[in-house]
Chains A and B, each alone.
Chain A
Amino acid sequence: MTSDIKIVDDAKKQLSMHPKKFGLWLFIVTVVMIFASLTSAYIVRQAEGNWFVFELPWQMWATSGIIVLSSVSMHWAYISAKRDNLESIKIAISITTILAVLFLVGQVYIWGLLVDENVFLVGNPSGSFLYILSGLHGLHIVSGVIFLLIVLNSTFKYKTHSKNLVQIEMCTTYWHFLGGLWIYLFIFLLLNH
């Protein structure tokens, strides 16, 4: 039996990855494709003219800052897990979750500001796109928050530690991805609004 196990590992070393982590990356690919297609649609539509131009609220810089900070705290959680520092995992994940919720609140607040600027979901596609992009991203953030809570829960059950990193690793990957995705969307909107 023991020798068996070793072989499985050996013969596959070159390519093998944890199937779940690999699956997560593939999932990320699908999300990338959704946003890539939406931003392409944005550009194609913009090129056709009749495009209502408006200023992005400066508060978007703030929410972008929050999401970057949350990535930092997420990474802190990951490193703490590697070092078996359970207390700081809990703190770090809690901070990340709070920042995530703050981010969401900020985004909704920004929608309100946009409405004050007379940019509506229903109306010129330039505004509709903004709501769709940030809304869809927000939904993904919600899924990320759920993931964070799951990890937090298993940390409390002492299931997250240096010998059992898969879950928190996946969560970290996903969270960094979501942050990066927002930064991409933000820069995209800055350049193309």
Chain B
Amino acid sequence: MATADIHITEETHHDGHEHDHDHGSNFWTTYIFSTDHKMIAKQFLITGIFWALLGGTLSVIFRLQLGFPEAELGWLRPFLGDWITSQGKIDPEFYLALVTMHGTIMVFFVLTAGLSGTFSNFLIPLQIGARDMASGFMNMLSYWFFFVSSIIMLTSLFIETGPASGGWVIYPPLSALPQAISGSGLGMTMWLVSMALFIISTLLGGINYITTIINLRTKGMSFSKLPLTIWGFFFTAIVGLLSFPVLFSAVLLLIFDRSFGTSFYLSDIYINGEALPNQGGSPILFQHLFWFLGHPEVYIVILPAFGITSEIISTNSRKPIFGYKAMVGSLLFISLLSFVVWAHHMFVTGMNPFLGSVFMILTLIIAVPSAVKVFNYLTTLWKGNIRFTPAMLFSMGLVSFFISGGITGIFLGSAAIDIQLHDTYFVVAHFHLVMGSASFFGMVAGVYHWYPKMFGRMMDAKLGYIHFWLSFIGIYLVFFPMHYIGIAGYPRRYYSFTNFDALNSFTDLNMLVSIAAILTLSAQFIFIFNFFHSMWRGRRAPANPWESNTLEWTTPINPGHGNWPGEIPTVYRWPYDYSKPGAEKDFIPQHIPFSETLESNFEQENELIKLEGTDSKAIVIDGK
């Protein structure tokens, strides 16, 4: 009943203003405080790109230290000021700040907000056939909470005591005690405030995504006809909804420990021989709370990228996705499992070995749905009519990274091996490949693929190829050697290795890694150029540049507010009818009824024609 109400208002509104989309809107409501999901998506994207560049730059600075410990870095003084010591070296505490901010920025601001914020916002209404998100206002709030959170995090980089420095996992007691490290002063407070706002932003976004997907699908868009992108965003939002509140609890208790003198995480601490008053807390408690978010978080980062990849690989292989149901099932299974494996980050906290084994088994089970996904990507590619668009290359790159990074997960998941490898560069290699690079490639692939829909123009493919190969090779050169460095026992987050005899080897390998990192970052500027240049100078996009099946390509090239000028198309088939035997073209979009494709229908699909009827309004709810 109520849904109908909403559609009435929307539809009448729309008919009234069909020729005048910008009726009553000005610069502020169109570009700044917009409630249109497409504009909000672009806001998230641009902010995300900014953060990605900043996060990448931070990492190159600390790579300079690791690759060239003897180098004179005085020339960075104009940018970093006193964080470069008078000997021209990076201040050791600032090194920790760099690592912390790099991690925080990349995990949360780029790969969570930048990725989900962009593509969930942009694609959910367009692909399920809705005029906008369930609540445009909440959606706008979500962006602005993110924006304020960004400003606070950014400001913390410039304060005198420096930003948070306890690692992106902010373990207390280090993060709780300003006496321990200068970054745990004001910088940490700002980190916590910023993250609290970030959590609110994510929850507002997530509530909207879930509500929209469940309630605003167009006629005929049953769950079994949803594109896998939407499934990916859907599970991401659910996982986020269940796990981010837990981070909120962890952060809340930490705030009380830091600012009000409670002892949730603190006990028996001596500083310069003097005992702190805090008694009875447990730092392990923080780790439990943190990783209960932290592990699902890594899937929040990768699941949207999975969705995007499924869509792009199927479209550009000109083949139906292999095992649609298995793809959905594995997303579901991964999401469920992601809540019961958190303690694999804590094998060395002295936990009960029996409990450790339970978590080990649960962790290793994740390899099964992960392998299903990889298998299905490969079988979709197999004997496909592959079109190597830049988006396709980046998607295939994702699959490659996911395989090479996922395999090391199995090593780390075995408690006995993890005791050796924990907190070494091996872990760094693992998660940068499987999460960082894979998810980053998914995001970039998405930008190349949906750029025409976002800006009505095409990005330059040649620059895309150069960008891809430099990034792909660069990333492997950066992270592959880290496996060796890690197995050799190099701990992560160390400022310098040259002080220890045992760790004095591998300087050449570290140098190689740093050079590759600089190259990889430089290659991203090709993308940035391509991105902004094509906005004005790119070739004008055709209506359906990739000959894709999903609904967003049925909108006008530059969709206005409300997405479809007339009625929203009805959906009759799943989104993966590529190269269907007998069909005229090698793709049949979702809104084409079976009655128009008699030559390619399967038997059971011919049955469905009856239900389509003459009155195109009566529609099959579920095509099974």
Residues of chain A at the chain B interface (Cβ within 8 Å): 1, 3-9, 11-12, 14-20, 22-23, 26-27, 29-31, 33-34, 37-38, 41, 44-45, 48, 50-52, 121-125, 128-129, 132, 136, 166
Contact = CB atoms under 8 A, between A and B. Distances in A.
B242 to A, nearest CB: 6
A123 B257 CA distance: 11
Given A16-B215, A45-B282, A37 B246 contact: yes
Nearest to B219: A11
B246 A33 contact: yes
Interface stretch (B1-9, B83-91, B380-388, B586-594): B1-9
B211 A30 contact: no
B345 interface: no
A125 B246 contact: no
Contacts of A45: 264, 281-282, 285
A128 B282 CA distance: 13
Interface of B: 1-4, 6-8, 11-12, 134-135, 138, 203, 206-208, 210-212, 214-217, 219-220, 241-246, 248-250, 252-253, 256, 260-264, 267, 279-282, 285, 288-289, 292, 567, 617, 619, 621
A8 B2 contact: no
B83 to A, nearest CB: 35
A15 B6 CA distance: 16
A8 B3 contact: yes
7 closest A-B pairs (Cβ-Cβ)?
A33-B245, A19-B134, A18-B2, A37-B246, A9-B4, A122-B261, A37-B249
B249 A27 contact: no
Nearest to A21: B2
B279 A124 contact: yes
Contacts of B617: 3-4, 7
A44 B285 contact: yes
B262 A26 contact: no
A3 B8 CA distance: 11
B281 A34 contact: no
A27 B7 CA distance: 24
Given A23-B138, A29-B242, A31-B245, A41 B11 contact: no
A6 B12 CA distance: 14
A4 B616 CA distance: 11
A32 B60 CA distance: 41
B253 A41 contact: yes
9 contacts: A11-B219, A19-B134, A20-B134, A20-B135, A33-B245, A34-B248, A41-B289, A125-B262, A128-B256
Contacts of A50: 267, 279-280
Contacts of A122: 260-263
Contacts of B248: 34
B3 A18 contact: yes
B241 A29 contact: yes
Contact of B211 (A4, A12, A19): A19
B567 A4 contact: yes
B246 A22 contact: no
Contacts of A51: 280
B253 A132 contact: yes
Contacts of A6: 4
Contacts of B135: 19-20, 23
Contact of B263 (A23, A33, A125, A132): A125
A14 B214 CA distance: 11
Nearest to B617: A7
B357 to A, nearest CB: 19
Given A9-B4, A121-B256, A166-B2, 11 more contacts: A16-B215, A18-B2, A26-B206, A26-B211, A30-B241, A34-B249, A45-B281, A45-B282, A50-B267, A50-B280, A121-B262
Contacts of B252: 132, 136
B172 to A, nearest CB: 13
Given A17-B215, A41-B289, A30 B203 contact: yes
A26 B138 contact: no
Nearest to B134: A19
A26 B246 contact: no
A48 to B, nearest CB: 6
B215 A19 contact: yes
A27 B207 contact: yes
A41 B249 contact: yes
Contacts of A19: 3, 6, 134-135, 211-212, 215-216
A5 B282 contact: no
A192 to B, nearest CB: 15
Nearest to A39: B249
Contacts of A11: 219-220, 619, 621
B336 to A, nearest CB: 15
B215 A15 contact: yes
B352 to A, nearest CB: 11
Contacts of A12: 3, 215, 217
B289 A33 contact: no
Contacts of A5: 4, 7-8, 11
Contacts of B6: 19
Given A41-B288, A50-B280, A8 B7 contact: yes
Nearest to A34: B245
B150 to A, nearest CB: 22
A41 B261 contact: no
Given A4-B11, A121-B260, A132-B253, A22 B619 contact: no
A123 B621 contact: no
A40 to B, nearest CB: 8
A11 B216 CA distance: 11
A23 B264 contact: no
A52 B281 CA distance: 12
A29 B206 CA distance: 12
Nearest to B620: A11
Contact of B249 (A3, A4, A17, A38): A38
B295 to A, nearest CB: 14
Contact of A128 (B11, B208, B262): B262
Given A3-B617, A19-B215, A23-B207, A33 B242 contact: yes
Contacts of B288: 41, 44
A133 B307 CA distance: 38
A128 to B, nearest CB: 4
A22 B214 contact: yes
A9 B1 contact: yes
A29 B207 CA distance: 10
Contacts of A124: 263, 279-280
> Looking at B135, B246, B288, which has the most chain A CB atoms within 10 Å of its CB?
B246
B245 A37 contact: yes
A81 to B, nearest CB: 16
Nearest to A14: B621
B244 A30 contact: yes
A37 to B, nearest CB: 4
Contacts of B219: 7-8, 11
Contacts of A34: 245-246, 248-249
A8 B4 contact: yes
Given A7-B219, A37-B292, A48 B2 contact: no
> Looking at B2, B134, B216, B281, which has the most chain A CB atoms within 10 Å of its CB?
B2
A174 to B, nearest CB: 14
B152 to A, nearest CB: 21
